[in-house]
Amino acid sequence: MPPTTLRASYTIAAPILQRFNAVVPHGERSRVMEGLMKQALVTREAELESIAQAYLTDPAFAQCREDEKHWDITVGDGLESL
């Protein structure tokens, strides 16, 4: 199955967009923007993974992990049907 593409609308400061349009040829703009989005995703996902790793391993979060176990027990207690 071929990848799906979507059109998007973003608000960008006029001077930045004008410079971008002047420097990046018409047929390359979407590809350049997609590349920038991929870079942003890699960076942000790495930050989230780092935070998650710290939560799972840092002794400072030991009490939080213990509390989480107590909450996990309540998942199957039937209260969600109230």
Token couple for 32:
């350049």
In this prediction, residues 49-66 reach a mean pLDDT of 93
The string of pLDDT tens digits covering residues 38-57 is: 999 999 999 999 999 999 99
Average of per-residue pLDDT values in the chain:
90
pLDDT exceeds 70 at position 22 = yes
In the chain, the N- to C-terminal Cα span, in Å, equals 42
Q: Judge whether 61 and 52 are in contact, CB under 8 Å.
A: no
What's this model's pTM, rounded to 2 decimal places?
0.67
Higher pLDDT, 76 or 25: 25
Question: At 74, is the pLDDT very low, low, confident or very high (cuts 50, 70, 90)?
Answer: confident
DSSP track, 19-40: HHHHHS-GGGHHHHHHHHHHHH
